[in-house]
Structures are given as structure tokens and as C-alpha cells.
Amino acid sequence: MIDRSEWCRCLKALPTEQLLALTETVSKQWTIRPKAVPQSGLGMLKLNDSAFEEAFYLGEFPLSSAWVEIQIPDGRMAEGAAQVMDDRLEVAEALAVCDATLSARLPGWEQVEELVQQGLKHLGATDRERKKILASTQVDFALLDDVGDDNA
């Protein structure tokens, strides 16, 4: 099984409609309550420069978070949370529901696990494509030494 810290990343790699449709199907009979108010906004990326160790802000990025508590008809309870670089609350809430479903093995967890596996495959294909593009742009600077010095 994939580590819990990777679940959101894998699920986010898939089309949002697929994620939302699954969570709607799986959680139809459940009572879902927020443990904290879901939030959506901008995060700031803060870095320190290497010379003087002074803080500066590199830029903004969309950020949404959700923390939910789920009660299913048989009385079992589960909690899930998600923080994602996306400005849509429904995506963060769906990811939190998936987190709770998988971690507590609630009914439908197999479907969520299958979606996580699909996302992992998609991420693997994307990583391979990126490596291929990177390899095609590499320059071998060792060949410059063989040319010689024309200025002498």
C-alpha cells in the first residue's frame, strides 16, 4: 500500500471530476462534519537568501485545506484531512473524505485505493516524460575541452 503522505498527491494527479464523482458515490449515506472550517486562499512561499539569511517571499500559490469527521450508518467514526495547492474547497474536502475512507477502511475504501493506484501510475508516466525531456536537453561540456584553444 502507498504511504498515507502520498495519497493526496496521487489522487490530485487524476481528473477532478473523477475524484468528486467517487467521493459522492462512496459517501452518500454518511454524515460528514467539518472539524475545522474549510479554507481556501493564497499561501506565500517564504525563503531565506543564502548570503545574509534574510527572508523574502518568492511568490503566492493557491491553497485549500479541509479536516472532516465522518460517521457511517453502523456508527463508526473516522477523520481525514487534506491540504492541497488548489483554490477549490470541494477538492480539499473530497481529498479529506478519501483520506478518512482509506485510513479507517470505511466502506468503499477499495475504490479509493484503486483511484490512488491509478494516480500513482499517472504520476509515474509524467515523471518518465519529464526525465526524457530533461535528458534530451542535457549538454556534455566535456566535449568543449577536446576542441582546443583557438586564441593561443
- Model confidence pLDDT, tens digit, residues 26-58: 999 999 999 999 999 998 988 888 888 888 888
Asked if 67 contacts 34 with a C-beta cutoff of 8 angstroms, the reply is yes
What DSSP letter does each residue of 79-96 carry, written as one string?
EEEEEES-S-HHHHHHHH
Quote the mean pLDDT of the chain: 90
Closest CA to 98 of 37, 8, 38: 8
pTM: 0.80
**What is the reported pLDDT for 99?**
96
- Segments of 20-147 assigned E as strands: 31-48, 55-71, 77-84
- Model confidence pLDDT, tens digit, residues 100-139: 999 999 999 999 999 999 999 999 998 899 899 988 888 8
